[in-house]
Structure formats: C-alpha cells, structure tokens
Amino acid sequence: MRKRSKYRPKPVLANTIGFVLEGMQPAANVDGVVVLDLQVQEVAAAIDALRRGEATKAQMDTLIAMNNMTEALFRMGFGTEYGAVVAEGYSTMKEVCCRFARDGRVTLYPRELIALNAHLELHDAQMDVITVKDVERAVNMITQEVAQKRAFRIQGARV
C-alpha cells in the first residue's frame, strides 16, 4: 500500500486586491452582507426572551457569542474606556448561564438586565466602528481561546 502524501495545496484567492480592500471596509457598510444586522436582531430578540424568562439554549448561545465578541473587541482596543461595562457584562453572563444550565430556564434580576443592556449597547457601538478584518481577528482570537481551553466552562452544561 502506498504512503499517503502530506502535501496539501494552499488555497488561492481569485481576487487578492478585492480581498484586501474588503478587509479595510467598515463591517457595517459591506454591500450584500446582512449578517451583522441579522446578528444584532438575534441578540436583541435573545435578550428580550431572556427578560421574559423564555430563552432557549440557542438564544443563550447567541448571547454567549455576543459576549465573546464584545470581550475580544475590547481586548483588541475597541471601547477601552468601557472596561467596567465589559467586566460587569461578563460576570453577569457567567451567572445567568450557570443558572440556565442548572435549572433549564432563567429569569433576570433587574441589575442583570441593566448590565446586559449596557453590554449590548457596547457591542452595537463596537460593530458600527470595526472593519471586516477586525471581525476576522476577533473570531480567530475567540477560536484560539476555546481551542486552548482558556474559555470559561459552565458547570453542569450538557454539551
């Protein structure tokens, strides 16, 4: 039997100039991409469902993704003056997610709702300022943190 080769060709970009220019555009102004608008609407719907005590696991995952993106962008230097908002939002999400994993549903306390709303406003403001390249760098940062097991693991979560 013949040994399998380790060679794997690298992907080739069809339009390198377009790729570079797209990376410099603001993420909110990219034509044909409505992904960011949809994600912001999903996050708002998830917080509303959480406020009513009707959040599902998918909506909690959306909120966790919003939290991770906000923290990654904060580490990259976007919104550095709002460190208290990021810290409060992170600790609130940890508490809420642990309660959700334990009980299967959760209702927010008023201070938690205020903290998550401030966290959401910061996330929206960050999304208005960043470029496509910044989004890619933040996603890579989050992926590396999860792969290296430096991310917070929710106790009792059934993953």
What's the pLDDT score for residue 159? 44
What angle do helix axes 35-52 and 110-129 make, rounded to 10 degrees?
A: 180
Place of tokens 């992926």: 143
CA–CA gap between residue 70 and residue 18 (Å, rounded): 27
* Biggest CA-to-CA distance, the chain: 67
Copy the structure tokens of residue 17: 């100039």
Work out the end-to-end distance of the chain between its first and last CA atoms, rounded to an integer number of angstroms. 40
pLDDT band for position 103 (cuts 50, 70, 90)? confident
Per-residue three-class SS string for the chain: CCCCCCCCCCCCCCCHHHHHHHHHCEHHHCCCCCHHHHHHHHHHHHHHHHHHCCCCHHHHHHHHHHHHHHHHHHHCCCCHHHHHHHHHHHHHHHHHHHHHHHHCCCCCCHHHHHHHHHHHHHHHHHHHHCEHHHHHHHHHHHHHHHHCCCCCCCCCCCC
pLDDT band for position 3 (cuts 50, 70, 90)? confident
The percent of residues above 90 in pLDDT, for the chain, comes to 30
Average pLDDT of the segment spanning 124-131: 87
More confident residue, 20 or 48: 48
Kindly report, residue by residue over 52-100, the tens digit of the pLDDT. Answer: 989 898 899 888 988 999 999 999 999 889 999 999 999 999 999 999 9
pLDDT band for position 112 (cuts 50, 70, 90)? very high
CA–CA gap between residue 134 and residue 137 (Å, rounded): 5
Indicate whether 30 pLDDT > 80.
Answer: no
Kindly report, residue by residue over 65-77, the tens digit of the pLDDT. Answer: 889 999 999 999 9
What's the pLDDT score for residue 15? 80
Mean pLDDT for all residues in the chain: 84
